Amino acid sequence: MQMCASVTDVRVLDGYRLELTFADGVRGEVDLAHRIVGRGGVFQALEKPAFFKQVRVNHELGTIVWPNDADFCPDLLYAWATGTPVPVPASEAIAT
């Protein structure tokens, strides 16, 4: 996985699923239901299907955002869409 993934396109599917395209050409689906439903706070508005569908790409941030400024880390989105783990930067790795 690349660090600092960047989302370039988003397409709303059914439920809380999105198809994401990343700057490196990778495309994948993410189901955000368990990351939104029941979480409250900024994510509460996203539980409403009409509001969830207002997702867009913020190219400056390289991620998806909603009108209430809710967003997700693009590196996490990349990991969820591809099934690859999020790498730990060497500076944060625990020596074994």
Residue 61 in any domain: the answer is yes
Q: What is the pTM of this model?
A: 0.84
pLDDT of residue 4: 79
Predicted confidence (pLDDT) per residue in 20-69, tens digit = 999 999 999 999 999 999 999 999 999 999 999 999 999 999 999 999 99
Average pLDDT over residues 3-25: 94
| 1 found inside a domain | no
DSSP lists the bridge partners of residue 83 as: none
- Give the C-alpha separation, 5 to 94, whole Å: 23
CA-CA-CA-CA dihedral for 3, 33, 15, 70, to nearest 10: -60
Identify the CATH number of the domain in which residue 54 sits.
3.30.2020.10
The domain total for the chain is 1
Q: Looking at the domain assignment, is residue 78 inside a domain?
A: yes
Closest CA to 58 of 5, 7, 3, 23: 7
- What lies within 8 Å, CB to CB, of 50 at 6+ separation is none
Q: How confident is the model at residue 7 (pLDDT cuts 50, 70, 90)?
A: very high
Give me the domain span that covers residue 13.
7-92
Asked whether residue 2 is assigned to any structural domain, the reply reads no
SS3 call for 42: helix
pLDDT of residue 89: 64
